[in-house]
Amino acid sequence: MLPNRMFPQTRLRRLRMQPFVRALVNETTLSVCDLILPVFITAGTNQAVAIASMPGVERLSVDRLLGLCQEICDLGIPAIALFPSIDTSLKTPDGKEAYNAEGLVPYAIEQIKKHYPQLGIIADIALDPYTSHGQDGLIDGHGTILNDETIKALVQQALCCAKAGADIVAPSDMMDGRIGAIRQALEQHGFKSTLILSYAAKYASAFYGPFREAVGSSAHLGKSQKDTYQMNPANSNEALHEVAMDLSEGADIVMVKPGNLYLDILYRIKQSFQVPTFAYQVSGEYAMIMAAIQNGWLTEKAMIESLIALKRAGADGILTYYALEAARWLKNRSI
């Protein structure tokens, strides 16, 4: 129980009057070490294609990404997460391009590790950038998402990325049992040090729209939904069950997605399990704040505040498209 503190014996503003005091009593610190930059990659050379719904974000060819990696390392950002945008001709109902050893993502991983071995690489494990129907899972003739058949494809994708040199594989599909199957396969093939970052509590959110445009899955998905595998935004207890299952199957890190709209979920998971817990500030959350900043309705500090909120709720790591700008901010300012 908090002590009975009353004015004027207690003046809480005394702790806010001077910058050095505010710094000393600061409860939550945002660091560049907390930041992970999601990157969209595309085929070709010298490609930097702006994504209209995500101000400041581009699809980059691997050569352009390598140029960016130097700044990422110089700023001290510890890791990037790779998301591919592939040609429509490579998309099939079974998404088999996801585990093509000569595909875009394995090539990107190999090149980054060759030139920047110190930079952590997180590989997204999901089929939606590769399927002609835009779903994260395989489907039958009735449009039903096939859980167990999808797991087999995800295992192949995870192994493909691990062989290319990914430090972390991150299943983002929300199929039941995929963490255990991937962990078993990694162990059997000698990738015992490869981490699994599980999108353990990924909600069927309306805030993924810009991302789906970025990876080219929105047109293929059409009006279809992902409610049969992504979580109901109304549910909280269910997230704890998802996390418990993924941890029991071998996940090293769990993640909440979206982040800013689900701070209560993030807090509950961190308090309940006390394991490394990440949050993803998703494309829609990023886009709406950036739009307000560009229109002069908010300042840059609004984005920083949104990241601090994720830290305060319990995030150990934050995936944000604002990572570069946030790192520059942290380098030059005290918050």
The model carries a pTM of 0.94
SS3 50: strand
Average pLDDT of the chain?
Answer: 94
pLDDT band at 2 (very low <50, low <70, confident <90, very high): confident
pLDDT of residue 220: 53
- Please spell the DSSP secondary structure of 188-251, one letter per residue: HTT-TT-EEEEEEEEB--GGGHHHHHHHT-HHHHTT---TTTSBPTT-SHHHHHHHHHHHHHT-
Of the listed ranges 156-170, 213-227, 288-302, the one predicted with least confidence: 213-227
Residue 145 in domain:
yes
* Residue 278, pLDDT above cutoff 60: yes
Residue 135 has, within 13 A of its CA and on its CB side, a CA count of: 22
Angle at 41 between CA 39 and CA 44, to 5 degrees: 155
* Residue 218, pLDDT above cutoff 80: no
pLDDT of residue 4: 85
Centroid of chain to Cα 243 = 16
Q: Which domain holds residue 279?
A: 27-332
H-assigned helices in the chain: 19-24, 62-75, 104-115, 147-164, 178-188, 209-215, 218-221, 237-249, 263-273, 283-294, 301-313, 323-332
Q: How far apart are CA 60 and CA 13, in angstroms?
A: 48
Contact 22, 5 (CB under 8 A): no
pLDDT of residue 332: 85
Contact 210, 218 (CB under 8 A): no
**CA separation, residue 283 to residues 10, 245, 321 (Å):** 43, 27, 8
pLDDT of residue 224: 72
pLDDT above 90 covers what percent of the chain? 88
Return the CATH number at 187: 3.20.20.70
pLDDT of residue 335: 44
* Residue 255, pLDDT above cutoff 90: yes
Check residues 331 and 176 and name the one with the higher pLDDT: 176
Residue position matching structure tokens 């299952």: 245
- Would you please indicate which residues are annotated as catalytic (active-site) residues? 202, 257
Residue 13 in domain:
no
- Please spell the DSSP secondary structure of 248-284, one letter per residue: HHT-SEEEEESSGGGHHHHHHHHHHH-S-EEEE--HH
Residue 36 in domain:
yes
Total structural domains in the chain? 1
* Residue 192, pLDDT above cutoff 80: yes
Residue 4 in domain:
no
Q: How far apart are CA 172 and CA 126, in angstroms?
A: 6
* Residue 196, pLDDT above cutoff 60: yes
Residue 105 in domain:
yes
Segment 172-199 shows an average pLDDT of 97
Q: Dump pLDDT digits (tens) for 35-73.
A: 999 999 999 999 999 998 999 999 999 999 999 999 999
Residue 6 in domain:
no
Pairing verdict, β 138-139 and 145-146: antiparallel
Residue 83 in domain:
yes
